[in-house]
Structure 1
Amino acid sequence: MQPMLATAAPPPGRPPAGPGWAHEVKWDGVRALVTVHDGTWHVTARTGRDTTVAYPELAPLAAVPALAGGTVLDGEVVLLADGRPSFTALADRMHVRDARRAAALAAARPVALVVFDVLRHDGQDLTGAPFARRREVLDDVAPDLPGTVHVSPLYDDGAALWDATAQQGLEGVVSKRVASPYRPGVRSPDWVKAPHRHVRTALVAGWRPESTGTGRLGAVLLVAPDASGALRYLGRAGSGLGGPVGRDLDGRLRHAPAVRCAVADPVPAVDARGTVWVEPDVAVDVRYLTRTPSGRLRQPVVLGARTDADVDPWESR
């Protein structure tokens, strides 16, 4: 099963108002579906990939009697940095495949699971039930959850939550129609995301080493498909490539097939100079300030590679 996805809030990008909505914090983490049944537990990424080994902190879920009859939880794996959830801080965790390395990382910087929905409980499919009912079920099991798992609080006032999350440096707000069913794998207007900072997932079409001669990764060239499937140019990003994010991407890109993919837009010579073109198979999350009239990203910062997310379509703004 794939998780339900949210659509972007229409201009001016604020949470919707009205009694038919519930609002919660938009957590800066990695989406996860967690299945618990008869003493076993499994974590699945958005793509359907099994990521259980990466998060040993969530193993106590298997021992919760209230979940043993067959429960599927939807939530976000988060890791705190400076007191706030940070996707960048998760760079060392989300791609781990070795149980011993995962255990060592968990001991040093444990993750938590913030749960915001329940799709199945006691073997009963809840996806057709309204969101308000699913949250009642989730609230019923909340007292039994282990310390590494928390239920995301709900708020009635989206505007107040928007202001509070901005003041606290959080990512934004997600609003959900209280009468809406859960639609697996669908990006639905029943869920609306309103981020304070623009973040999108893009593909890497090429990379450049640092100009200082260190050989380290210095910049990546980003593209995204438009409605026709053609790849459109988003620009060059050099910020955010230090530390584990840069090392992870460097390893992925140096082993990527070297090929000049067809980009529908002309790539500026200053960006193309010295670029190693690759098959656009590596996806990254990018934070940016605004878009130019031609659709390029202003002040892009690479947050990390993604293997659990769809690439956001190209738009002019």
Structure 2
Amino acid sequence: MRPMLATAADAPPAGPDWVHEVKWDGMRVLVDVRDGRLTVTSRTERDVTAAFPELDGIADTYDDLLLDGEVVALDEGLPSFHALTERMHVGERRRAETLARSRPVTLFVFDLLRLFGQDLTGQPWTARRRLLEELELDGPSWHVPQVHDDGEALLRVTADQGLEGVVSKRRSARYLPGRRSPDWRKVPHRRTYSVVVGGWRPEAGSGASSAGRLGAVLVGLPDGAGGWRYAGRVGSGLAGSAGVALLRRVRAAGAGSSPFVDEVPRVDADGTHWVEPRVVVEVRTLQLTSGHRLRQPTYLGVRSDLAPDDLQEVGDGG
């Protein structure tokens, strides 16, 4: 089974028909318990049980249940996707147990899909939630977080606390495995940054670079010492005329080597045409990680009103 998915929205829906939850920055999983055996699967139905030994104890809670939730790694009290990447791809049990001591995870459970052999997906959210709360699933590494009636207030609070956003759910909604439904709506907090372009890559399969289309730009943020720290590769938002116009600008700024003070990962550097750091662009991103990398960035446009020196004065491109 694949989990139900939410559709994107600009704001949480209002009214008594809706309930609202914190959107956690983690890894979506289904947790299946049958006859004392635990199986954890990813959104793509990959078995990741070995990666999260902290969840073993859920198998001792009830004989038969299927839970939907998010595995989260906390860093100084806040969810950190960067920290989670150290855990989510580990397939060797002993290695996972070692990492669990230094980088533990928590499962936030938000839905109950089966209990004692009964399929609950056809029940409304309110019925599933009532049963989930009655189970009192509160262990050392798993927790059922609160839900809230006021989506706008929760959106403000999550923004203030640096959380990922809000998911709103229609109280009467059935659970639709593997489907994206308007009965679930997500409003993530995406921040914008002004960044400098340090390189560009042609679109894959577009032929020779001199005649190709723009596939992605490599961008940087000020390092605090007058240089540029690599912040990631931006490909989303470059289709059509936006990419054509930006490619014209960056081609005119060609350089022989990387302008970034730190090493660019080979997967990003290979095939890149380096440019002088003089074109400033605006990007929207889900998060700036602790390693100063943009997560899921989208290109918004050229900041012709800003020069690279303006970013150095700000200090962080924000």
Is this a same-fold pair by TM over 0.5?
A: yes
- Which of 212, 217, 223 lines up with 1:236 in the alignment? 217
Which has the larger Rg? 2
**For 2:7, what is the secondary structure of its paired residue?**
strand
Superimposed CA distance per residue, residues 176-217 of structure 1 (whole angstroms, 9 cap, x where no aligned partner)? 000000011111110000111269xxxxxxxxxxxxxxxxxx
Superimposed CA distance per residue, residues 141-192 of structure 1 (whole angstroms, 9 cap, x where no aligned partner)? 1x24422110021101111111111111111110000000001111111000
1:53 aligns with 2:76: no
Amino acid at match of 1:159: E
Q: Percent identity?
A: 48
Matches of 2:284 and 2:202, distance apart in 1: 15
1:268 aligns with 2:247: yes
Amino acid at match of 2:174: P
Contact kept in structure 2, 1:34 and 1:42, CA below 8 Å: yes
- Which of 167, 175, 188 lines up with 2:181 in the alignment? 188
Matches of 1:42 and 1:235, distance apart in 2: 38
1:151 aligns with 2:148: no
Contact kept in structure 2, 1:61 and 1:145, CA below 8 Å: no
Matches of 1:222 and 1:185, distance apart in 2: 34
Classify 1:50/1:316 alpha carbon distance in 2 versus 1 (closer, same or farther; 3 Å): same
Contact kept in structure 1, 2:137 and 2:143, CA below 8 Å: no
1:1-317 matched pairs, under 5 angstroms: 1-9=1-9, 13-64=10-61, 67-68=62-63, 70-141=64-135, 143-197=136-190, 235-238=216-219, 268=247, 270=250, 276=270, 289-290=283-284, 301-303=293-295
Between Structure 1 and Structure 2, how many residues are aligned?
Answer: 243
Matches of 2:106 and 2:13, distance apart in 1: 28
Residue segments in structure 1 that go unaligned for 5+ positions in a row? 200-217, 225-231, 241-248, 250-262, 279-287, 292-299, 305-311
Superimposed CA distance per residue, residues 62-88 of structure 1 (whole angstroms, 9 cap, x where no aligned partner)? 111xx21x2110000001112111111
Matches of 1:74 and 1:222, distance apart in 2: 40
Residue segments in structure 2 that go unaligned for 5+ positions in a row? 193-197, 205-212, 222-231, 233-238, 258-268, 273-281, 286-291, 302-318
**For 1:290, what is the secondary structure of its paired residue?**
strand
Q: CA deviation at 1:219?
A: 7.7
Contact kept in structure 1, 2:190 and 2:284, CA below 8 Å: no
Contact kept in structure 2, 1:237 and 1:301, CA below 8 Å: no
Provide the TM-score with structure 2 as the length reference: 0.66
Matches of 1:28 and 1:38, distance apart in 2: 31
Contact kept in structure 1, 2:284 and 2:300, CA below 8 Å: no
Matches of 1:223 and 1:7, distance apart in 2: 28
Q: CA deviation at 1:15?
A: 0.9
Matches of 2:15 and 2:160, distance apart in 1: 23
